[in-house]
């Protein structure tokens, strides 16, 4: 179903929640071994001494947010441009057996000729209701095509 979600589908101030991912030891170690092989991400023994146990690479949490965004809406959105990120904060450690979901808020909504820019604040919330990570980024979306009737 291409182009099912348009600029108008993300109104200013809207807050939605979605997702639900269980973080596993194996996935934490697999991601970190490939991209972020610092011992507190890859080695349970070393992590216990350094940080009280294994913690996920912040970039792994970012990737899990991306997966939840794809499943919830990105795959169906009429995206013209998604060219960057304004801010990422890793506020709390993400550990094995954490359960994460997303709270997304539309912070800004700017209409342009036949397109529109939407700024989202994403919070990755853990099983204790705390935001382990936040991210702000801007999407450029198509506006919903108008039906022309004569």
Question: Which of positions 15-34 make contact with a second copy (CB under 8 A)?
Answer: 34
Select 74 or 107, whichever has its Cβ closest to a second copy.
Answer: 74
Q: How far apart are CA 137 and CA 119, in angstroms?
A: 6
Chain centroid offset of residue 86 CA: 13
Select 63 or 121, whichever has its Cβ closest to a second copy.
Answer: 63
Q: How far apart are CA 117 and CA 4, in angstroms?
A: 17
Q: How far apart are the first and last CA of the chain?
A: 28
Of 10, 19, 56, 58, the one binding a second copy (CB under 8 A) is 58
Q: Minimum distance from CB of 147 to a second copy (Å)?
A: 25
Of 10, 29, 54, 57, the one binding a second copy (CB under 8 A) is 57
């Amino acid at each position: 179903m291409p182009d099912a979600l348009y600029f108008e589908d993300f109104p200013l101030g809207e807050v939605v929640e979605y997702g639900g991912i269980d973080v596993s030891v194996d996935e934490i170690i697999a991601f970190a071994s490939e991209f972020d092989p610092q011992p507190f991400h890859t080695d349970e023994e070393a992590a216990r001494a350094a940080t009280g146990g294994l913690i996920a690479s912040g970039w792994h949490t970012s990737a899990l947010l991306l997966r939840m965004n794809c499943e919830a809406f990105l795959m169906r959105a009429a995206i013209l441009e998604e060219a960057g990120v304004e801010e990422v904060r890793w506020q709390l450690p993400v550990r094995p057996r954490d359960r994460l979901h997303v709270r997304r808020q539309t912070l800004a909504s700017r209409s342009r000729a036949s397109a529109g820019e939407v700024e989202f604040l994403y919070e990755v919330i853990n099983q204790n209701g705390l935001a382990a990570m936040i991210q702000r980024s801007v999407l450029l979306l198509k506006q919903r095509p108008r039906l022309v009737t004569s």
